[in-house]
Structure 1
């Protein structure tokens, strides 16, 4: 009996030691583990991964290049790429306004986010009417499309705000060549994506990608476009073909400033 008891005690001690070692080496739950499963957080995770490998101010040969200010959206405006691109455009035109000020002024669609039982977005706002979700990233956020950005630009440039959405690619390049940067909608990868989603809004169905992004187009050469990227807070060169396809995929959205006296049409 005594021999059996000693054997039992040895087993219990071994189990206790192994349990202690497991607690030491097991990773602690991260903050994200406690967030309710939500497809919008894939957007945040993708941005974080991109920031780890983002190129910085490449040395390139260029044909056309406009020297617009470079502004970053982080950390204050996790989803504020559109208003940050607008701030760069306005500052290029010598209008001193910050992205945080524009974030307070942009129209909003307050429709709440609803996730269905399958983990998909069932309903949310319409980015054609106003900013959808949280612009700071404190809560789930998406972004805003061209029309509200053009309207906000018109508050600062009442007779020169020009919405180029729907135009062709060559027109965008001609605008840049004429000396005007262009806010262009793309994806955070600056290339086409395949993961699109559809949700219901008060204005109708919205079909888009959660990796929507906006940058300031400032130049180009035969094979590349040059952008001020608010996500990476840097000037970048991007293969033109991929960027062009992502711009088409996002609905050919573009906003700029028209020269004095030019009709405000595409």
Structure 2
């Protein structure tokens, strides 16, 4: 079952509680702000905070599919973090902030600024729960990914992102 959820932790938890196996962020309130810049900023802030836990929420859903019950906030606590503080220039622009290849950059809870996490730290956490069942195909050609899906055994999951 797939549901739209409000971009806040309660939206995810409510969807999970009724058995959703996937959640999409409901962006309708942002779409309604086309003529109100202040409201648009508020809605974008809500979406950004929700996105900070998006990757671990996806991981929690994958693990649920595999029969492992673990919450997104527990995974958020366990995932590697890059400890570098945000550094800004005189104009307020970010000059340095860490490496998402090392761990989550910023505050994953959304209470403070957060940025991102890349595949390798998530892969490490996934291997803890699914040893021997985690394969990182980042950077591989579509053909290689397709060949891999053909030889997979039933029940395997492909988690893909692009951007």
TM-score (norm 2): 0.63
Write out aligned runs for 1:17-96 (5 A): 69-71=21-23, 77-96=50-69
2:131 to 158, 162, 176: 158
Are the equivalent residues in 2 in contact too, given 1:87–1:98 (CA < 8 A)? yes
Separation (CA, whole Å) in 1 of partners of 2:158 and 2:91:
39
The Cα shift of 1:184 comes to: 2.2
- Is the 1:111–1:125 Cα contact (8 Å) retained in structure 2? yes
Where 2:159 maps in the other structure, the secondary structure is strand
Change (3 A) 1:174 1:81: farther
- CA shift, 1:118, in A, is 2.8
CA distance in 2, matches of 1:134, 1:71: 22
1:96 is displaced (CA, Å) by 1.4
State the match for 1:120 in structure 2.
93
Gaps spanning 5+ residues in structure 2: where? Answer: 1-6, 8-19, 26-45
Aligned to 2:16: none
The structure in which a higher percent of residues are strand is: 1
The yes-or-no answer on 1:107 pairing with 2:59 is: no
1:78 CA displacement: 4.1
Question: Residue 183 of structure 1 is aligned with which of 134, 159, 162?
Answer: 159
Structure 1: stretches of 5+ with no match in the other structure: 1-47, 49-67, 187-245, 247-266
Q: Is the 8 A contact 1:154 1:161 kept in 2?
A: yes
RMSD (CA atoms): 2.6
Can you list the C-alpha shifts for 1:50-86, whole angstroms capped at 9, x where unaligned? xxxxxxxxxxxxxxxxxx9214688885411111111
Measured in 1, the distance between the counterparts of 2:160 and 2:76 equals 18
Larger radius of gyration: 1
Deviations 1:168-214 (A, max 9, x none): 1233345556453322233xxxxxxxxxxxxxxxxxxxxxxxxxxxx
Aligned pairs for 1:232-251 within 5 A: 246=163
- Find out whether 1:144 has 2:117 as its counterpart: yes
Aligned residues: 121
